[in-house]
Structure 1
Amino acid sequence: MSESMRKLRVGCIQITVSANKAENVARAVEKIREAKKRGAELVVLPECFNSFISNDYYGKYAEPIPGETTNILSKLAKELEIFIIGGTIPENDGDKLFNTATVWGKSGELMGKFRKMHLFDIDIPNEMTFRESDSLSPGNELTIINIKDFKIGLGICYDVRFEELAKLYRKQGCNLLVYPSAFGMKTGPLHWELVGRSRANDNQLYTVLTSQGRDLNGPYVAYGHSYVADPWGKMLFMAGTDDELFIVDLDLDVVDKVRSNIPIFIQRRADIYDTVQKN
C-alpha cells in the first residue's frame, strides 16, 4: 500500500457571502486557486457558499445540478486537477428545493452529491427561530466518496448533531467526515466545537467543518471558526471569523493508531444496542 495514498492535504475555505451570487462564486474560485498553489489535493467550501442562508433567498438562488455554479466547480476541478467538495448550494429539482453538497473529481466529473438530511428547525423563545422546512425538503441518502485511501462521509451543518448518521458512516468504513456548515451566533459558541470534536472522538476519524465567515450585516450571521479535528478529538486548526483559507494534512496512520489503542468498535455491545440504516 502506497504511503502517499494514506495522506491527504485538505484546503478548508471560509468565506462570507453577499447578495451577489457571481461575487460569492468568484470569491470561492479565488480561494480554491490559492489552495491549489499551497498544495491542497482536496478543497472544502462552506454551506451555502453562493447564497445567503435564509428562506427568503433559497428559492431565488436555487439552481439545478448541473447548473451555473456547479459547472464552474466542475471546470475548475478539471483545470486544477483537484478534488472539490463544493460546500452547498440551494438546489431545485422539480418542485422541491434542497440544500445540496456536490463533490467534483480531478477530471471534472460529479463524484456524488448529498442533500441535507436533518433540516434546521429550532425555536429558542425570544432569541432565535428558524425553520428550514418552510422552504427546503430533506435528503434521504448517505453519500460516501473515495479519494486516495480516504473514505469520506458527507453531512451538512445540522446533520453533525445526529451521531447516528456519523455512526452509520463509520460502520461503512469512513475515516473522514466532512460537514459544510454555518452555525449561528446562538448555538455556535455553545456547540460548534463540541459537536465536531465529539463526532471525531465517537467514531475515531477526522472531521472537517467549514463555515461561512461572520457578516454582522447579513440576514443570517454565521459563527465562523471553521476547523478540523483528528481521531483523538484534538483540534488541528480553527479559523477566526473572517475570510480564511487554511491547509491541514491528514494521515490515516493516526486513525489506525487511535482505533488500535482504544478499540471501542470491537467492544460495542451489538447484542444489546445497534445503529441500523433503514433504507
Structure 2
Amino acid sequence: MRILIRTSKWAIWARRFGSLALPLTIIPVLLHREQLITSADFTVVEAVAAGVAALAVFLALGAFGRLWITGDQGWSKAGWGLFFGIVCLLPFAYLGYEAMRYPMVDEVTTDSADPLPLVSPVRVAPTGSPLRDEIAAIFPNAQTRSYPVDATEMFAIVDGLVEARGWDVRTRRAPPTALDIGQINAIAVTLFGWRDEVAIRVAGTALGSVIDMRSVPLGGFHDFGENGKRIEEFLVALDQKITLTLRDAPQAAAAPDTEAPPLPEGDDAE
C-alpha cells in the first residue's frame, strides 16, 4: 500500500509570498533612485512589500510547526519563504532603528542665523531652539569651519570633494576674489532613492575662509539622520584634506632651488 505524503500548503504559500516580496522590495528602490516613480508611490509600494514579507515569515513559521506535527513535506519551501521574508524585512528594520535614533528634522545647517539659499522649491519650517540643541548634540561635527586658506583655493577643494561624492551640482558660483563668497548647491541621493539638497558656502575673510553647510530633505516624512551624517562626513573629510594641504605646503615652499647660480660678469667668468 502506497503512503501519500502531502506538501504543506503553508510552506507552499510561504515560499510564494517570500518570492513575491523580494522583487517587490528591490525593484521600487531602483525605480525611485532613477526618479521613475515618486517618493509617495515608493512609500506605498514598499509598505505593501513589507506586509507581503511579514506574511511570508508568518506562514513559514506556521509551516514549520505543522510540518513538525504532521510529518508533511515542505521544509525547504518553508525555509526559503522564511529567508526571503527576513531579507526583505531587514531594510525596514534598519530604517526603523534609524528613525528611533535620530529626530525628525526639516534641515540640518551649520548657520541657523543665516541659512544658505536653496534652488529647490521646498518650504523649510524654522527649526526651534530645543531641536537645534538636540541636533548639535547628535551631530557635534556639523559646525562652521574656519581655515587659513583663501576662498578661491578653498572653493576648488570643496568643489573637488563634491564631485568625488557624485552629487548632482545645480549651481556653482566661485568667489571672484579671496575676500568674496562662493556657493555650491547640489542634489544628493540616499541609498533608498530619497533626494536631499546640499548647499555649501565658502566665505573669504582676512584670515582665510569660513565654510558653512546646509542639507535639506526634499521628500519623505523622516530623513533617518542622513542630512546630519552627510554634513559631518563632508566636513570631517574637508578637515583631513586641509590638514594634508597645509602639511605639504611648507615642504613645497622650502624645496631647494635647483637652478645653477648665474656666472659673474667680467674676464674672470671663464
Same fold, TM-score > 0.5, yes or no:
no
Specify the structure having the higher radius of gyration (Cα): 2
Q: TM-score, normalised by structure 1?
A: 0.22
Q: Which has the higher strand share?
A: 1
Q: Which has the higher helix share?
A: 2
